[in-house]
Structure formats: C-alpha cells, structure tokens
Structure 1
Amino acid sequence: MDFSRLELSEQDQAFLGELRAFLGAQVTDEVIRRDRETGENFDEGVHLALGAAGYLAADWTAEADGGFTAVQRRIWELEIGRAHTPWFHWGTTALVATFVARFASEELREEVLPGVLSGEIRLCLGYTEPEGGSDVATCKTKAVRDDDGSAWTVNGAKMFTSNAHNSRYVFLLTNTDPGGPKHRNLTLFLVPLATAGIEIQGIRTVDGDRTNIVYYSDVRVDDRCRIGEVNGGWTVMRAALQAEHGVAEVDSAGLQRLATMTEQALLTAEALDAVAAVAAAPDAGGRRRIEDASVAYRLGRSAARLEAALSTPGMFGRVAIAATMREIAPDMMDVLGAAAALPVETEGAAADGAAEYVFRLAGPTGIYGGTLEVFRNMIAQQVLGLPRPVYSPPR
C-alpha cells in the first residue's frame, strides 16, 4: 500500500480551490443545523446547486467520457466529507442511475438520466421488507402482470427506503412468480413515487436519521418501467448489491475510496480529535486527563484502530470501520465523562457532543447496506472458502 503524498498539478490545485469555495458557500451552518434536526442527510438546495455546477454529472460519468479524473474524484470525495455536506443519498441515486443506464429501455433512460445529473431527480432503493431482514431475495412484495402484458399491479411494503420522501422514483424489487424458485422469481421496476397507492411514512433511527416505510396498495406500474428481464431481477440485483457492499475492483492508481462507510469513519476521526483536545487541555486545577495512563492508552488505541480501519479496503474495510466505531465510541464517551452524554449544541456538552453522536451513529453503521454478520459470512465464504454456516440445532 502506497502512503506517499500526491503532488497536485496546477489544474488540480485550481479544482480544489474552486470546490472548497463552492462548498463553503453552499454548505452553510444553517444547512448543517437543519440537516442535524431533520436527520435526512439531504438538502435540496445544495443538491440542485451541485447539479447546476456540473459536479453531479462529473462524478457519475467515467473519466474517459468527460467525468472527473482519478485525482479530481479523490479530491471531490474528501472535500464533500470534510464540508459535512448532507450527501449520503447521492450515492444511492448514482448507483440506481447506473443500472437504469445498463438495463432500462431507451425511453426510460431519456426520461430519468438528464434529471439525475441536474439534481432534479433523485432515486431510492426499495429492497428490504418489514419481515425480510438482510435477505432481500425473500421478497414478498408481489407484482402481477395484466393479461395484455402492458402493466403490473404491485402490493406490499418496503422498509428502510431512505430518502423516499425526497425522491422521484424507487428502484423496487418485486416477486413476479410466488411459486417459482428463489432468486428466479424477482423483477425490478423503477416506480414513480407519485403513483396512486403509494404511502410513505417516516421513521427515526437511534442516531437521529430519518428513513421510511413505504406501502404499495394496488399500485399500477407500466411495463416500460421494468428494469431488466421478467424474473431476471436477481441478475441486476447481484451487481447492485456488490456495488452497495463495496465489492469493486481496486483502482491501480491507488486514489479510490477504499471502502463504503468511510464518510462515517471521517466523522469518527473528527470526534476523536475533539476528545483528544479536551483530554489534553488543563482543567481548573491545572490537571490534564491525558496524564492519566489509562486515558492516554485508550485514546492511543482508538487512534490506531481507526487508522487501521481507514486503510482497510473493500468489504473488509466495511466491517473494520463499523466494528471500530462500535468499539472506540464507548471509550471516547468514558474519557469525557458524564457530560459526553449531552448532544451537539447543548450547553455543557463535552467536545460539543461529538462523541455522543458517534456513539449513536456506530450502531446503524453496522446495519446500513447489510449487517456486519452478513459481511463476515461473505468474507468467510467468498474469500476464505469456508462453507455456508449451519444455524440448525445439532442432532
């Protein structure tokens, strides 16, 4: 692994300066405060501004087709995170747009993709179901085709459809052959969320984020909204899940984001810096907490574990980041004491609530996009060649 510093060209320096100035003007304190209150991880004004400036198109487009260069893409990813941009849902939109471009009809591509790149159209994922857990292939949301084949009727419910209330379409997984074999009875649609029969209800997670449960009651979907073949949805889903899980080829330039969830890890790093600053500052009696050997040890161990997690690629990094956050957040809280339990912008909050937020964020980070247990099983089977786990009781 190459940890050498990259010397930026004049062109890249100019890009860095322009992007920082742009984000500084758009991602204001008010935007960050509003995002913290709503938990939406999205701001329409910022999103539309990024689209109008051409940043969304450059991020979605390959370098060979006029998108960001490898260096610009790395600058983009880092600066977006450092500015605390309400941003997480662009990744979902970009992911779905990729599969629309690959598998949808020309009519649907022309209807959706220009609006995605301008920022006007957002896309969300309709995979998980209230009783389905991480195994999305157990899909019970049914789509029944009309006799003439021109349209479908959808009934069911989807859980954790984040940003549905700010999106135009949902990438919806349905069961189109209930009696058929698992993985061969699934079909995907890009469904307009304004369609009659769709109800979106907000849900708050423990870290304060908003997600949604979405109900589909006799929803009529035109066949032109189908993505891929009938009962061939798993072919599309497999590629989509690999992208969501962070299973991707490594860029030989060594500049790519190593793993998913690095944004959460950067927030954790900022919180750890804030905790260390408090620990290093003298109290009213002139004593510094860092002088306590146990405090110094825990902060040092936390920093080392976080650096290791940030340097771990692919789905290994996905596990390392979430597990590290869960392990070091309690230490950060303990070092700060009782005032660490107060949230950001609360009078008397230690380190302005940084550790408290990471403590709440750590739990869901180990669930988003699949649980840590799912990823550990994937690593065991796909990388280590171990057999599938057996959960039945021994005879």
Structure 2
Amino acid sequence: MDFDFDADQQAFIGEVRAFLDEVRQWPDAADIMCPERESDSILADTPARKAFNRELARRGYLGLSWPREYGGQGRPGIYEYLLNEELSRVGAPLIGKGVGCVGQTLIRHGSDGLKREFLPRILKAEIEFALGYTEPHAGSDLAALRLRADRAENGWLLNGQKMFTTSAHFADWYWLAARTDFDAPKHKGISLFLLPMDQPGITIHPIETMGEHVTNQVFIDNVFVSDDYVVGEVNKGWTYICEALDYERFTFYTFSPLEEKLKALRALLCTEGGDGAAIAARPHVRRHLARLTADVELSKMLQRRVIYASSQGRVPTVEAAMCKLYSTGLHQRLADFALDSLGTDGLLHKADAQAPAAGKWEWSYRATALDTIGAGSSEIQKNIIARRELGLPLRF
C-alpha cells in the first residue's frame, strides 16, 4: 500500500494552494476561509462563499471526475479528494453535494432531461442542494423512512416530514427520498425526487444544535412532483442513495482539519500559562500531547486506506467506517484535552474577549459531539466493522 501521492497529484496540490493564496487577498477572504469555524465550515451558506464556489467552477475545479461528455475532466476521483483536503484545511466550503452525490447519480441514472437541466448548472456552481433523507423515525435506519409519494396524474403527491436537513434554509433544490411502495420490502420501495425548495407546501423550520450547526425540520404537505423529476427508476432509490454515500466517503472525510487543530493546540499550550511557564512544559501535558500527535498520524493512515481502496476499484465501506469512527472520536479527545489543559479559562465562550484562542476549544467541545452522529453514527460504524470485517452476527 502506497501512502504517498505521485508527482501529478503533488503538482495539483501545489496548484490548489497557490489559488487559495490568491483568495487570501480578496476583501471577503475572512468569510470564505474560516479554519476556526467549528460548524458548517464546509457549506457555501453566504454570498461570499457562493462566489468562491463560482470561482472554483470558473477555474475548472468542479466536476474533476465527471466524464468529459458531461463537461467534466475525466480525472480519477482522488483529485476531488485532494481538492477537498486543501479546502477543508483553510475552512473554505467544499465542492459540495451537487458535484458529488447529486451530479454523480444523475450522470449514472438520471434522464436526459434532468441531465440537461442540472449538470451544466452544477458545474457553474449556480445551484445548491439539500439532501432529504433523515426522518423522525428513520435516522440511522434510513430504509425505515415513511414520507409518502402517492401516484397522481403525470406525477406524485408527497406528504410527510424530514428531520436534520442540512442546507434546507438556503438550498435551491431538494434531493428527496420518499416511499413509493408501502407493500414492498423497506429497501425496495423508495424513490428519489428533485423539487424546488420554494415550492408551495414545503415548510422549513431551522434548528440550531448545541454546536451552532444549523439544521432543519422540513414539512412536505401535498407537494406535487412531475414524473420528469423522478431520479432514475421508481422504487430503486435505495440503490442510488447507497451509491451516492459510497462516493461521499471518498471525498468528504478529510484529514487536514485534525492536523491543523493539533498544530493550533500545540502552539497555544506552548504560550499559555498562569504561573510564568508554558502549559506544555508540564510533564502530564507533554505526555498526552505526544499521544495525541501519534493518534493524529494514525488517523491520517486510516484516511489513506480509504483512498487506496478506492483507487483499486473497491468500495471502501469498512475502511471509511474505521476512519470516521476513529477520526470523529479523536476530534472529541482533542477538545477534551484542550479544556482540561486550559482549566477554567478554556470554558469561556467565543463571545468572551478573554477566551483563549477566541473560544475555539469550548466551541469545539460542543460541536464535535455532533460529528459522531451525522453521516452515520459511531454505533453504525461499529456495526459495519463488526459485520463486514470481523464477520460477527447481526444479532446475538
């Protein structure tokens, strides 16, 4: 297994970093690059961040792995991972759901009409999507979703509720999973739809989590969707969702935020201290910091295993589960250690002028708990590892 990037990939990394150096000179660079932002840093949720994504598009960074016939560059998927790695390092928005799960699924399964309507706009960063998967009774068990899609003339009538829909409060289109056959096995009766977020019958209620991540509760009341906006075949939505999640595992879980957090914490502990000496000079702090440094390197190796498996044409289901389980837990342990080391000052909120590191670590303590839930909880990742890697039975 080769953990290093080749010369072309290294050159691409250098090219992206040079571009980001240019962005640092923009008047609104502070809004675009927010490495201290603990929540929603991957989203294009402000005008400046949307403009940044349009510049990414103009320079050809969107659709790197798309086939050339659809406006892409036909590059291996690792280039999109490398791009997201550099974007996440500086807290800039990632290339997004449109290029990833939406665009890739439309390329493989969408009708010619959907491809013509959406793919060019995705490549120009003109539209934002929200993913309507989770429901009050269908979180980790997504196949248990109940939102109804009943047949109507030339389309479908949708009714139900979605929970924890990130981006719904600023997205343009809803990528929505609904049940179209209640008599089929639960994995077989799901279909995917596209509908505009401003369509009558869609009501959005924002929810702010303890980590200041804005998510949403969405109510769907008698919303009509034309047959033209069904993605792929009816009742095959579960297959499309799983394919999209496999793609997201390859590009979404970046390592660089962990590395940057460790650097920031180490620098802080080397300067802070109320007794005239740096906190990092204390023996127990030095030992713990050394342990965390080794753990961050281990997280990097787990991420490289995901990349390697994907580059070999395998779906990195187990590798991605291991990486997510370990890295999200490590984010929490870094925050725990920071607060323990900083003492009572570490509990100060970022709104307090006296807070160390502008309150980053208190915010991190609140925000990182959510990372172990989103995109598949830690318990789900453990089940994947237990069943698919260790061969353990589903029930004992």
Same fold, judged at TM 0.5 (above) = yes
1:157 aligns with 2:156: no
Normalised by the size of structure 1, how large is the TM-score?
0.84
Q: CA deviation at 1:36?
A: 5.1
The 1-side partners of 2:117 and 2:383 are apart by 39
Aligned to 1:221: 225
Matched residues in 1 for 2:140 and 2:10: separation? Answer: 46
Q: 1:384 to 1:281 in 2, by over 3 A?
A: same
Cα offset for 1:354? Answer: 2.8
Give the distance between the partners of 2:355 and 2:339, measured in 1 at CA: 11
Local SS of the residue matching 2:130: strand
The 5 A counterparts of 1:73-92 are 73=80, 75-87=82-94, 90-91=96-97
User: Could you say which residue in structure 2 is the equivalent of 1:254?
Assistant: none
Give the SS at the match of 1:179.
coil
**One of 288, 292, 299 as aligned partner of 2:278:** 288
| Residue 322 of structure 1, CA deviation | 0.9
Contact kept, 8 Å, 1:93 with 1:124, in 2: the verdict is no
**Residue type of the partner of 2:326?**
A
- Cα pair 1:143 1:153 within 8 Å, conserved: yes
Render the CA deviation track for 1:257-306: whole Å, top value 9, x for unaligned.
6xx432xx533432332222232237465322222211111111122112
Other-structure match for 2:313: none
| More moved, 267-276 vs 231-240 | 267-276
Distance in 2, matches of 1:282 and 1:96, equals 46
- 1:156-190 residue CA offsets vs partner (Å, 9 max, x unmatched): 01111111232222111111122332212111111
1:30/1:208 Cα in 2 relative to 1: closer, same or farther (>3 Å)? Answer: same
Contact conserved, 2:66 with 2:73, CA < 8 A, in 1?
A: no
Cα deviations by residue, 1:24-51 (Å, 9 ceiling, x for unpaired): 2456114457995995732322222222
Of 255, 261, 267 in structure 1, the residue corresponding to residue 253 of structure 2 is: 261
Structure 2 CA distance, aligned partners of 1:199 and 1:9?
44
User: Relative contact order (alpha carbons < 8 A, sep ≥ 6): 1 or 2 greater?
Assistant: 2
**Secondary structure at the residue paired with 2:62?**
helix
What does 1:87-126 correspond to in 2, within 5 Å? 87=94, 90-91=96-97, 93-126=99-132
Question: What is the CA-CA distance between 1:4 and the residue it aligns to?
Answer: 5.0
CA deviation digits over 1:351-394, x for unaligned, max 9?
3323223212221111111101011101111122111035xxxx
**Which residue, out of 179, 184, 196, partners 1:180?**
184
Structure 1 residue matching 2:326: 3-state secondary structure: helix
Change (3 A) 1:65 1:33: closer
Aligned to 2:140: 134
- Give me the identity figure in percent: 29
Specify the alignment match of 1:205 in structure 2: 209
Distance 1:345 1:97 in 2: 39
Distance 1:61 1:77, change over 3 A: farther
Superposed CA deviations along residues 236-263 of structure 1, whole A, max 9, x for unmatched, are 122123334x2x6xxxxxxxx6xx432x
- Residue correspondences, number: 373
Alignment of 1:367-386 (within 5 A): 367-386=373-392
**TM-score, with normalisation over the residues of structure 2?**
0.84
Q: Is the 8 A contact 2:34 2:92 kept in 1?
A: no
Instruction: Please provide the CA RMSD for this pair.
Output: 3.0
Q: Say if 2:35 and 2:90, in contact at 8 Å, map to a contact too.
A: no
AA paired with 2:178? Answer: T
Consecutive unaligned residues of structure 2, counting only runs of 5 or more, are: 307-319
Shift of 1:129: 0.2
Partner amino acid, structure 1, of 2:73: G
Range that drifts further, 298-307 or 52-61: 52-61
Query: Do the aligned partners of 1:93 and 1:122 also contact (CA within 8 Å) in 2?
Result: no
